[in-house]
């Protein structure tokens, strides 16, 4: 069907209303209206779009409203795509942002084929992805609460210098602290309780993620990802749920780009200038990849745990994992030892290449 007979619908959504811009074919002016985001609002939107002559294609940005609108439109037989907001083209000099302008821009860019469409998961994988993200939120809360407790103790002269923090020995040290002032004692007790609460939540999420990892729809993916060093159940489940089908990325560089781990570039003529990573992609993937990359600073010797995880995997997957051991360790050591890069910078560079090995394992499905 030619573009001039297609109705392009750009939608800017929030929790209460949906701003809509409708372009019929190549017309320059859009028809604009609003619709509610509740059931009645979506129902009226569907009825209005079905009155259009020709094929209707809708688009909106992924965000806090989730994929309920996408599913309702698809159920009604209306084509709808969800796009990655971090990859939406922006004009450098455009400093005005409103719902109406965003809806118009989405409609025009969608018609021109300039938007990056994301794969929308089914409801069950989406629910498990919500579980891994909730676990990530609890882990961040735990870190903040631990830092808050440490800073409180430091302010009153309590400094732990007998080893690593948050070990059993460290907990025994904390529990022996007593303040004469009842106000300070309440702060200490409540801070300890907050940390313990986050730890219990983390255990609950970890147990549920472990349970889901053994389900048939996840078991094979998780086991294969775990053949890589630094990738255990939580990381593997994050990879499996954030990228349900790795074959949606035709090449490894495209997957690397989606994680935001590729360097920014501002080159002109013969001058090449690369800067920090773009961070224009999935932040959850980026976080777990960088965490896993730190494991490659150690010697590439497969220990008993790694050998056990690789034992039942296909030869092709094991070969990829073994090549990753050698290549990524060499890269980490070369960046740190030869080029005097900070370990944190080396970890990001290794994470980018680790994404390529993960992509290669994903193609084995």
Query: What pLDDT, in 10s, does the model give residues 148-168?
Result: 999 999 999 999 999 999 999
Query: Model confidence at 305, in pLDDT bands (50, 70, 90)?
Result: very high
Residue 27 has pLDDT above 90, yes or no: no
pLDDT at 4: 63
Report yes or no on 259 lying in a domain: yes
pLDDT at 128: 94
The mean pLDDT value for 36-43 works out to 93
* Candidate from 10-19, 78-87, 318-327 with smallest mean pLDDT: 78-87
Q: Which of 112, 131, 159 is the last residue of a domain?
A: 112
- Do 206 and 222 sit in the same domain of this protein? no
Measure CA of the first residue to CA of the last residue in the chain; give whole Å. Answer: 34
Residue 2 has pLDDT above 60, yes or no: no
- Render 339-351 in DSSP notation, one character per residue: S---HHHHHHHHH
Beta-sheet strands, E only, within the chain: 6-13, 17-24, 31-36, 55-61, 79-83, 263-265, 274-277
Q: Which of 161, 188, 213 is the last residue of a domain?
A: 213
Helix, strand, coil percent content, the chain, rounded in steps of 5: 60, 10, 30
Residue 1 has pLDDT above 60, yes or no: no
Other C-beta atoms within 10 Å of 231: how many?
Answer: 27
- Do 42 and 86 sit in the same domain of this protein? yes
Report yes or no on 352 lying in a domain: yes
Report yes or no on 169 lying in a domain: yes
pLDDT at 205: 97
Percent of the chain residues topping a pLDDT of 90: 76
- Do 162 and 49 sit in the same domain of this protein? no
Q: In this structure, what token pair is assigned to residue 4?
A: 């001039």
pLDDT at 167: 94
- Do 315 and 246 sit in the same domain of this protein? yes
The mean pLDDT value for 122-141 works out to 92
CATH number at residue 35: 3.30.420.40
HSE value, Cβ hemisphere, 13 Å, CA-based, for 238: 23
- Exposed/middle/buried for residue 135 (C-beta within 10 Å: 0-12, 13-18, 19+): buried
The mean pLDDT value for 44-63 works out to 93
Residue 256 has pLDDT above 90, yes or no: yes
Percent of the chain residues topping a pLDDT of 70: 99
Residue 295 has pLDDT above 90, yes or no: yes
- Do 173 and 227 sit in the same domain of this protein? no
Residue 140 has pLDDT above 90, yes or no: yes
CA-CA distances (angstroms) from residue 116 to 7, 85, 144, 324? 19, 9, 35, 29
Report yes or no on 118 lying in a domain: no
pLDDT at 3: 60
Beta-sheet strands, E only, within 205-351: 263-265, 274-277
Q: In this structure, what token pair is assigned to residue 229?
A: 């060093």
The alpha carbons of the chain give a radius of gyration, in whole angstroms, of 25
For the chain, the average pLDDT equals: 92
How many domains, in total, are found in the chain?
3
- Do 350 and 222 sit in the same domain of this protein? yes
pLDDT at 84: 82
Residue 268 has pLDDT above 80, yes or no: no
What pTM was computed for the model? Answer: 0.83
pLDDT at 92: 76
- Do 281 and 240 sit in the same domain of this protein? yes
Q: Are 357 and 323 in contact (CB under 8 A)?
A: yes
Q: In this structure, what token pair is assigned to residue 7?
A: 């109705």
pLDDT at 365: 66
Residue 349 has pLDDT above 70, yes or no: yes
* Candidate from 221-230, 274-283, 287-296 with smallest mean pLDDT: 274-283
| 354: containing domain | 218-363
CA angle 261, 265, 270 (to 5 degrees): 145
Report yes or no on 173 lying in a domain: yes
- Do 36 and 153 sit in the same domain of this protein? no
Residue with tokens 């190549």: 26
User: Tens digits of per-residue pLDDT, 6-17?
Assistant: 999 999 999 889
- Do 179 and 250 sit in the same domain of this protein? no
Residue 300 has pLDDT above 70, yes or no: yes
The mean pLDDT value for 231-236 works out to 96
Report yes or no on 192 lying in a domain: yes
- The total number of residues shown for the chain amounts to 365
Report yes or no on 245 lying in a domain: yes
pLDDT at 244: 81
- Do 235 and 356 sit in the same domain of this protein? yes
Q: Are 350 and 228 in contact (CB under 8 A)?
A: no
Residue 66 has pLDDT above 90, yes or no: no
Q: Which of 178, 213, 248 is the last residue of a domain?
A: 213
User: Tens digits of per-residue pLDDT, 195-219?
Assistant: 999 999 999 999 999 999 999 999 9
Q: If we measure between CA atoms, which residue out of 237, 281, 231, 239 comes closest to residue 256? A: 281
- Do 66 and 134 sit in the same domain of this protein? no
- Do 199 and 233 sit in the same domain of this protein? no
Report yes or no on 310 lying in a domain: yes
């Amino acid at each position: 069907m030619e573009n001039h007979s297609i109705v392009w619908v750009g939608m800017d959504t929030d929790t209460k209303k949906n701003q809509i811009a409708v372009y019929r074919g190549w017309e320059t002016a859009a028809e604009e209206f609003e619709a509610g985001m509740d059931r009645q609002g979506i129902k009226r939107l569907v009825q209005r779009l079905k009155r259009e002559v020709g094929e209707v294609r809708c688009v909106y940005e992924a965000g806090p409203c989730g994929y309920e609108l996408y599913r309702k439109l698809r159920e009604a037989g209306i084509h709808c795509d969800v796009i990655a907001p971090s990859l939406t083209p922006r004009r450098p000099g455009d400093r005005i942002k409103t719902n109406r302008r965003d809806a118009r821009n989405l409609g025009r860019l969608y018609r021109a084929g300039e938007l990056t469409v994301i794969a929308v998961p089914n409801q069950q994988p989406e629910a498990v992805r919500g579980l891994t993200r909730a676990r990530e939120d609890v882990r961040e809360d735990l870190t903040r609460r631990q830092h808050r407790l440490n800073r409180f103790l430091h302010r009153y002269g309590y400094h732990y210098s007998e080893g690593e923090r948050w070990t059993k020995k460290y907990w025994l040290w904390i529990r022996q602290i007593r303040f004469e002032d009842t106000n300070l004692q309440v702060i200490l007790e409540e801070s300890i309780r907050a940390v313990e609460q986050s730890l219990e939540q983390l255990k609950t999420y970890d147990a549920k993620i472990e349970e889901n990892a053994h389900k048939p729809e996840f078991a094979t993916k998780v086991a294969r990802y775990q053949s890589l060093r630094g990738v255990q159940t939580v990381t593997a489940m994050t990879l499996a749920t954030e990228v349900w089908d790795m074959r949606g990325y035709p090449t490894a560089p495209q997957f690397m780009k989606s994680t935001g781990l590729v360097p920014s570039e501002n080159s002109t003529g013969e001058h090449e200038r690369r800067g920090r990573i773009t961070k224009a992609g999935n932040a959850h993937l980026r976080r777990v990849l960088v965490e896993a990359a730190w494991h490659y600073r150690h010697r590439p010797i497969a220990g008993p745990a790694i050998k056990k995880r690789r034992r039942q995997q296909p030869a092709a997957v094991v070969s990829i994992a073994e090549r990753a051991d050698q290549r990524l360790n060499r890269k980490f050591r070369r960046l740190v030892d030869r080029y005097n890069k900070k370990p944190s910078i080396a970890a990001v560079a290794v994470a980018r290449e680790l994404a390529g090995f993960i992509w290669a394992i994903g193609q084995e499905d």
